[in-house]
Structure 1
């Protein structure tokens, strides 16, 4: 009935102009926020695990002014329940799913969808002050369709005084399957074993580590457009990620095993990219769903030492699994 009502108004009034004061554009924006958050949130959560991997792979700190350069590669493994989300028409305020009342849609990790959203968006024309109604129809946003997400970075560590090691890492901007990402961070590790006289390399070592990372992800998708009102074609996620963990390790000659238990706190800022008079409103509303969360994880791994080189392998487990491998050289 609602669609028939709008249709009759279009025939009775000048083209595109509706003689009513109703403006349902806020309802449309609310629906887009629901879609954006459900699409992006699993990827944001997974980013915490990727950004926390590889920081510390031994409780032993470098000697003062010793330098180690490492190249790391890792893979975030995506559980099936992080690849899709369920949605019904009752979850939406204005839009409806075309031909169905509920459906499963991909997250950023998921595959593609053939389901469409439809609706009539009514908004004020900023030039004439009149009210326009535009019909909108768009397909759900497709994901990158991956079971794992690769990630690589360069890391440098230097020993400073008092059993402390400082680490910096960087991954310049790279693009994978329409997703552009970059990350930078700094961390510190402090030996706790020194307070228990465990000063020899082959003693059991215990340390505390902390790190801060900045991650930027830009995901492009097929444009969603309401003529004269709004066009959206990508979403940007800026993440601030904090990690604190206790690390234990034991070395036997060329071989070392380590384990760690950590807590991560992450905060995310979302911004929709595109054009149109409503885009500032969309991003202002996105600000209200920005937030953070706390997650726990465990690390388990081993190191192999060859002269100045160290080969490291690590598995991180929590809501996600992340595998990391690194090759480091001491200078």
Structure 2
């Protein structure tokens, strides 16, 4: 359990292999069945991951003046506790070439990577790639089965004020490299405060800005060897990218301020199943190398409201973002001006 917790925190928004490590067993059913199942299983966690990394681009609509800066440590918690429609999907064996349920069912709800349905056994008794395959195994469950109901993401972000109400931003997560996980994140953004162009700018009680932010997360998770599938270098390689286009308004008070935004998020997740997978048969083994890739696109509108406390160089902020996957964002900030 502790290893899985560490992996979850390390993997941030792309949490694929933690609940169970037997996703690769599905390759015993052949490439078409494996790709169909993995596409449905992984889609919700990639969607939640894109929403998670897209947040935290602003904590005020009041752009920093020339030379003003802020360094932030930002964390996001993207919840899915009540997203039952994202925790399971219907597996109809008529849509599969070689996969059947051991209890004779033809259709059943099974877990996604976010779900908690366990103990679903499937069988393969068919010719796969011209070779007879006969085996049974349990389908992988998801994060809810480990009592996790959120996906975390986090990074360091820096903002610097330029002239004419423009502020540039950059975010990154230093490369993390363990035995099972490799992950890194970077991003850049720009904010423009339209109220800075008004003659009575300093007298206005609110500021209005537009913010554009791009985030890229890449990572790799190594599978564990299972009884069904042997091989080498079995791993998932994933790349997430997202754009966030926001309209932001905030108050302009000395200590405590409130801010809110309307955001349009669009992103893409590319997931590659890599390595060598060897399925034993009564004749010669079936070997797949880098078997398939999956691409998911996500887009949606979100709205958030938050507050920021400013105490000299030290600032705290928190906001809640309502979207297809809602996110609580918090930041610890150190800034000048």
Residue in structure 2 matched with residue 41 of structure 1 by the alignment:
43
Q: Which moved more, 1:132-141 or 1:251-260?
A: 132-141
Shift of 1:134: 2.5
User: Is the 1:249–1:256 contact (alpha carbons within 8 Å) kept by the matching residues of 2?
Assistant: yes
| Structure 1, 139-148 or 55-64: larger mean CA deviation | 139-148
Q: Matched residue of 1:31: which SS? A: helix
TM-score by length of 1: 0.79
| CA-CA distance at 1:172 after TM superposition | 3.0
Residue 144 of structure 1: aligned partner: 143
Matches for 1:33-72 after TM superposition, within 5 Å: 33-72=35-74
| Distance in 2 between residues matched to 1:138 and 1:71, nearest whole Å | 43
Return the offset for 1:223: 4.8
Within 5 Å, which residues of 2 pair with 1:160-199? 160-173=162-175, 181-197=183-199, 199=201
Hey, what does 1:272 align to over in structure 2?
A: 273
1:108-147 pair list within 5 angstroms: 108-111=113-116, 113-120=118-125, 122=127, 131-145=130-144, 146-147=148-149
Which residue does 1:127 correspond to in 2? none
Contact 2:71 2:159 in 1 (8 A): yes
Change in Cα spacing, 1:157 to 1:71, as seen in structure 2 (3 Å) is: same
How far does the alpha carbon of each residue in 1:14-44 deviate from its partner, in whole angstroms, 9 at most, with x for none? xxxxxxxxxxx99721111121111111111
1:312 aligned partner: 317
Number of residues of Structure 1 aligned to a counterpart in Structure 2: 294
Q: How many Å separate the matches in 2 of 1:157 and 1:248?
A: 18
How far off is 1:192 after superposition?
1.2
Any stretches of 5+ residues in structure 1 without a counterpart? Answer: 1-24, 125-130
User: Are the equivalent residues in 2 in contact too, given 1:28–1:95 (CA < 8 A)?
Assistant: no
| Alignment match, 2:237 | 236
Structure 2 counterparts to residues 257-296 of structure 1, below 5 A: 257-276=258-277, 277-280=287-290, 282-283=291-292, 286=293, 289-296=294-301
In structure 2, stretches of 5+ residues that fail to align are: 1-26, 278-286
Residue pair 1:239, 1:268 contacting (<8 A) in 2 also = yes
Looking at structure 1, the residues matched to 151 and 224 of structure 2 have their Cα atoms a distance apart, in angstroms, of: 21
- The change in CA–CA distance for 1:251 and 1:35 in structure 2 (over 3 A counts) is same
Q: Secondary structure at the match of 1:43?
A: helix
SS at match of 1:299: strand
For 2:232 and 2:41, the matched residues in 1 are separated by 17
Matched, 1:87 2:96: no
> CA 1:111 to 1:121, structure 2 compared with 1: closer, same or farther past 3 Å?
same
Pick closer, same or farther for the CA change 1:323–1:175 going to 2, 3 Å.
farther
| 8 Å contact kept, 1:202–1:253 | no
| Partner of residue 17, structure 1 | none
| Structure 2 partner of 1:300 | 305
Preserved CA contact (<8 Å) 1:224 1:231: no
* TM-score, normalised by the number of residues in structure 2: 0.78
Give SS of 1:47's match: helix
1:245 maps to which residue?
246
Encode CA deviations 1:200-250: one digit per residue, 9 max, x unaligned.
Answer: 28631111100111112445555567668x789543321111111111111
**How far is the alpha carbon of 1:55 from its aligned partner?**
0.7
CA positional deviation for 1:196: 3.3
Asked whether the equivalents of residues 172 and 186 of structure 2 are also in contact (C-alpha less than 8 Å), the reply is yes
Q: Tell me how far 1:309 sits from its aligned partner.
A: 1.5
- Give deviations 1:166-193, integer Å, cap 9, x for gaps: 11111235599x7764321111101111
Give the Cα–Cα distance (whole angstroms) in 1 for the partners of residues 247 and 116 of structure 2. 37
Q: CA RMSD in A?
A: 2.8
Cα distance, 1:68 vs structure 2? 0.9
Give the SS at the match of 2:252: strand
Sort the Cα spacing of 1:222 and 1:98 in 2 relative to 1 into closer, same or farther, 3 A.
farther
